[in-house]
Chain A
Amino acid sequence: AQKITQTQPGMFVQEKEAVTLDCTYDTSDPSYGLFWYKQPSSGEMIFLIYQGSYDQQNATEGRYSLNFQKARKSANLVISASQLGDSAMYFCAMRKEDAGNMLTFGGGTRLMVKP
């Protein structure tokens, strides 16, 4: 069975600073994908970044980067130059690479950006 753990229920960060949101996972599958989604107060899940288990380089998307450490089974999200609009819930998710590809989610981290 797959499991995603986000150990930080809530975090504060000063505007314009960088912040790291932790995610660890557990799986016995050799092939899997890792995702981060942002959920603002409006409720919609917004895709941020993806990392495949066989990818050699860490994924980056604008201000978002994924610190992928396969041996440690961690996939931390780094947000650089935080903005007030980054205040939201952030979910780490894992996709099992077989029929269906459904996602297993962590419990989420609430990020609050201080002006």
Chain B
Amino acid sequence: GAGVSQSPSNKVTEKGKDVELRCDPISGHTALYWYRQSLGQGLEFLIYFQGNSAPDKSGLPSDRFSAERTGGSVSTLTIQRTQQEDSAVYLCASSSYPLQADTQYFGPGTRLTVL
């Protein structure tokens, strides 16, 4: 079946602009995760969804970051007033958690560059 998809694959924006990143999980996966991969910080957890609710937002770096998930499927990560330090690859993963064998499967990522 289809894997996790993300769009856009690349996004270049100017400092101060808002951006939206989209994730379409594997069909039937109830858990959805956003991670950020940057040169200085490695791979960091941002937020976790179970269905449409986000029980854990502990990784969001600031209040400029928000995310939502609708219909238990597609999720959007929004970054407001982007800063240069937001430049990174944003990875989305989904899993069948809380079922067993809930391996997280990742999408190809969105590479964000803030000029």
Contacts and interface: CB of A to CB of B under 8 A. Distances in A.
Contacts of B56: 99-100, 102
- B-side interface mostly: strand
Contacts of B108: 42-44
A93 B48 CA distance: 16
B43 A105 contact: yes
A47 B4 CA distance: 13
Given A99-B56, A100-B56, A105-B43, A43 B104 contact: no
Contacts of B42: 105-108
Nearest to A50: B103
A99 B55 contact: yes
Given A100-B56, A101-B95, A37 B48 contact: no
Interface of B: 31, 33, 35, 42-43, 45, 48, 50, 55-56, 59, 89, 91, 93, 95, 97-98, 102-109, 111
Interface of A: 35, 37, 42-47, 50, 91, 93, 99-108
